[in-house]
Amino acid sequence: MRIALLTHRHSRKGAVVASALAARGIRPGLIVCEQPQIAPATARLRALILERGARALTDKLLSRLGASSRAEPPQSSASGLMLDAAGWAEQHAIALLDLPDLISAASLDRLRSEAIDLMIHAGAGILRAPLLGIPRLGVLNAHMGVLPRYRGMNVAEWAAWEKGPLGATLHWIDPGIDTGRIIRIVPVARQGISNIAALRKAVDEAQTAALADLVAQMVASDQAPSAEPQRREDGRQYFTMHPQIARLLEQRLAQSA
């Protein structure tokens, strides 16, 4: 089975997914790196202020300072897990395909020429319908929330905030946002989760392991797994959690751990 990861060059997620597959004896045939579309800094700042108000810039600076104080040590290239997608591909001699986008006719034609059986979303952007029809089996995704209830952004945090079910979902990508057919729900226990970083780590580790296990089963059978459609009206679309709510969630998690 020819497998392609959809990511970008500096995505750590791409390397983590590739490493999880390798641990199960699966070697991706191709790592596809989309060129990220980055808006000018002024446009990003304006959008942030419109979304979150005048305090958005202060909140962002404080958040960055806090992240810097909690930064992990430099990533090691020896383990593979600490590399970005491009570094992992180079270390493991995996073909890497750089594309300016995943929507243009030229990019789609290039992908069709690769005869890909299965694509895995591993850090790329939003995928459009023409791309989804290229792989023989489809495009897999691991989502950090229980679908269909939690769609969109920061869903692990929103589930914890609402005291809803924590977990991840393996699903096929369709043209909607987190609306594709559900393959498997992966529950995550709340015990021992004392902050947002631990929450995200627990969900991410669970979804990555489950995704790699699923792909291993697909490689062994050369078949797509059964999947259940979800109704759009059964879920909600969540957006980026405001820093003030995130701070309250941090306090709540610390108190309940």
Q: What is the pLDDT of residue 257?
A: 72
Closest CA to 226 of 163, 96, 137, 118: 137
Instruction: Give the percent of the chain with pLDDT over 90.
Output: 78
Domain 140-257 CATH (choose: 1.10.287.130, 3.30.70.1350, 3.40.50.170, 3.30.70.3270): 3.40.50.170
Paired strand residues for 30: 4
> What angle do the packed helices 196-221 and 155-162 form, to 10 degrees?
120
Chain region(s) in the chain for CATH 3.40.50.170: 1-46+74-136, 140-257
d(CA 99, CA 85): 14
At residue 247 the predicted structure's pLDDT band, cuts being 50, 70 and 90, is very high
d(CA 199, CA 138): 29
d(CA 145, CA 155): 5
**244: helix, strand or coil:** helix
The per-residue pLDDT for range 144-167, each reduced to its tens digit, is 999 999 999 999 999 999 999 999
**pLDDT above 60: residue 226:** yes
Closest CA to 143 of 166, 164, 119: 166
Pull the structure tokens for residue 153: 């952004």
1-46+74-136 CATH: 3.40.50.170
**pLDDT above 90: residue 5:** yes
**pLDDT above 60: residue 77:** no
Q: What is the pLDDT of residue 52?
A: 53
Q: What is the pLDDT of residue 160?
A: 97
Report, as an integer, the average pLDDT of 207-222: 97
d(CA 199, CA 189): 10
Q: pTM of the entire structure?
A: 0.84
Between 37-41, 215-219, 229-233, the lowest mean confidence (pLDDT) is in 37-41
